[in-house]
Amino acid sequence: EPEVTQTPSHQVTQMGQEVILRCVPISNHLYFYWYRQILGQKVEFLVSFYNNEISEKSEIFDDQFSVERPDGSNFTLKIRSTKLEDSAMYFCARKDSLRNSPLHFGNGTRLTVT
């Protein structure tokens, strides 16, 4: 079973619309990540989040993206104005410790932008 739960499992939206993807860790952890995977491609880093702040973000994570942990539990990824090329699987992950420990992924949200 995945150690983070992601909702929804599939989101279909029209280009230009805002979407919010949610992640709920099973236990209380401090280090969270969002990755995405375009169909048939490798898993790409988007952003890391620690202590309610972004610690690192990739070039993909531009101004249309934002993350927050509003209630101390749910971890969200917001895409403000979706584009066709945002269609991908989005994975939330958590880590036990910062160094030398693996990421544990959820089963992802499939985002389809039409």
Partner 1 sequence: GESVGLHLPTLSVQEGDNSIINCAYSNSASDYFIWYKQESGKGPQFIIDIRSNMDKRQGQRVTVLLNKTVKHLSLQIAATQPGDSAVYFCAEAGRGSSNTGKLIFGQGTTLQVKP
- Kindly report the length of the chain: 114
The verdict on 33 binding partner 1 (CB under 8 A) reads yes
Q: Give how far Cα 47 sits from Cα of 53, 54, 93, 109, 114, Å.
A: 10, 7, 10, 16, 25
By CB under 8 A, name the one of 48, 61, 88, 113 that touches partner 1: 48
Minimum CB distance to partner 1 smaller for 84 or for 99 = 99
Going by C-alpha positions, the residue among 33, 6, 3, 4 that lies closest to residue 111 is: 6
Binding flags for partner 1, 74-93, as an x/- string (CB under 8 A) = -----------------x-x
The verdict on 55 binding partner 1 (CB under 8 A) reads yes
Beta carbons of 99 and 82 less than 8 angstroms apart: no
By CB under 8 A, name the one of 14, 42, 72, 84 that touches partner 1: 42
Q: How many whole angstroms separate alpha carbon 5 and alpha carbon 108?
A: 8
Contact residues: partner 1, CB under 8 A: 2, 31, 33, 35, 41-45, 48, 50, 55-56, 91, 93, 95, 98-108
